[in-house]
Amino acid sequence: MKKMIGSRMYLVLVAIIGVLAIAGCSVPGGGTTPAPDTLTVVSTSPAASALGVAIVGTTITATFSKDVDPATMVAANFSVTQAPGAVVVPGAVTYDVPSKVATFTPTHNLAGGSTVYTATITTAVKDTAGTSLAAPKVWSFTTTSVGLGPLPVNLGTAGTFVLLAKTAINNIPTSVITGDVGLSPAAETYMTGFSETLALSGDYATAPQVTGFLYAADMMAPTPVKMVTAVADMLTAYTDAAGRTTPDHLNIYAGSLGGQTLSPGLYKWGTAVSMATDVTISGGASDVWIFQVTGAVTMAASTKVILVGGAQAKNIFWQVTGATTIGAASHMAGIILGQTTVTLGAGASLTGRALAQTQIVLSGNTVTQP
């Protein structure tokens, strides 16, 4: 009988210890059970104290340790201010579920001249279990000095895509794409040759040829709204680039750019532009080039756009009213804002973005976001 009572008391004691442990309380000889993981920001872009941040195409992002409740990722909880005076920067806040990344996209380009910006994420942001951010996340960064050439083109949320089109994206495998791919208003069925796998949530897809995610207008919420906004921003960027006046160079080289070196500036052609041989773009890391082309842009096979002097593809904008054709085994650099089709020949590569108002055609290409 005594043995039975002792056994029961032992079992009761074990049960009590288990309850205490689950509650995170101290237990004799057992220490304290760790509290559940807290919600934190594990990385930011730009990084804290970053210098020389580009004024064009820069979005402010935060990557979280856990899934965030999208309803809490709103402008009131993720804001950016500009010094001096902590002036509020207008912009849109979005949250990407698969990557756990929140993005603040400024409505306008950032100011140059080593301007300091401060980003703040409040504890009103919560994970999907309702746990608040462990502590406010506040970090600052400084922009680059102003470069030569025109003001850059603000891509808005279209700048989060390496490939973005309205009617179709057709790919002949195998391509290597680094960055997100988007299609709208066309449906996912018009995105061919990627071997997509739709996520269980239904709002994005993955593909072995894409280091990033694929989005289409007919996927589950919030993707349709995301895509409508991105396409609208693409059209706004195209209109901005096409509407720049007083070009520095008008119809230079009669549109035949092969063998030429192009300095920062606004270029305008009333005809098509061709590149029969390599073209050099020369300038500093903050310099800007805008090429307005009334007609098509055509690169011959095995030609290259070469960047020297620190020039960056993200600061080069090709606004093209006609088709853009990049020849087989050629290399293009810059942001292509195409009113019609963008076609990459077999084995061609692009460092930049292809933002097409009709379709994008790929054939075993390497496309890398700048």
Instruction: Find the range with the poorest average confidence among 27-41, 113-127, 176-190, 272-286.
Output: 27-41
d(CA 312, CA 162): 15
- Fill in the amino acid letter for 18: G
* pTM over the 0.75 mark: no
Residue 10 pLDDT greater than 60, yes or no:
no
3-state secondary structure of 2: helix
pLDDT, tens only, 114-168: 899 999 999 999 999 999 999 999 999 999 877 889 989 999 999 999 999 999 9
What is the residue whose two structure tokens read 């919420």?
221
80 neighbors 118 (Cβ within 8 angstroms): yes
Q: Give the pLDDT band of residue 318 (cuts 50, 70, 90).
A: very high
Q: Identify the CA nearest to 363 among candidates 342, 352, 353, 348.
A: 348
Q: Give me the mean pLDDT over the 284-302 stretch.
A: 95
When the candidates are 3.40.50.1100, 2.60.40.1220, 3.40.1800.10, 3.30.1700.10, the CATH number that belongs to 41-143 is: 2.60.40.1220
Residue 54 pLDDT greater than 90, yes or no:
no
d(CA 62, CA 366): 27
The proportion of the chain whose per-residue pLDDT surpasses 90, expressed as a percent, equals: 82
Count the helix, strand and coil residues of the chain and give each as a percent rounded to the nearest 5: 15, 40, 45
Domain residue spans of the chain: 41-143, 156-368
Q: Give me the mean pLDDT over the 60-69 stretch.
A: 95
Please give the pLDDT value at position 176. Answer: 98
- Please report which helix (H) or strand (E) contains residue 239, including its range: helix 223-242
Q: Give me the mean pLDDT over the 308-333 stretch.
A: 97
The C-alpha angle 359, 364, 370, rounded to 5 degrees, equals 70
Q: Identify the CA nearest to 36 among candidates 129, 106, 147.
A: 129
264 neighbors 149 (Cβ within 8 angstroms): yes
Residue 8 pLDDT greater than 60, yes or no:
no
Please give the pLDDT value at position 13. Answer: 44
Phi, psi angle pair for 242, to nearest 5°: -70, -25
Please give the pLDDT value at position 12. Answer: 41
55 neighbors 111 (Cβ within 8 angstroms): yes
Average pLDDT, the chain: 90
pLDDT, tens only, 161-202: 999 999 999 999 999 999 999 999 999 999 999 999 999 999
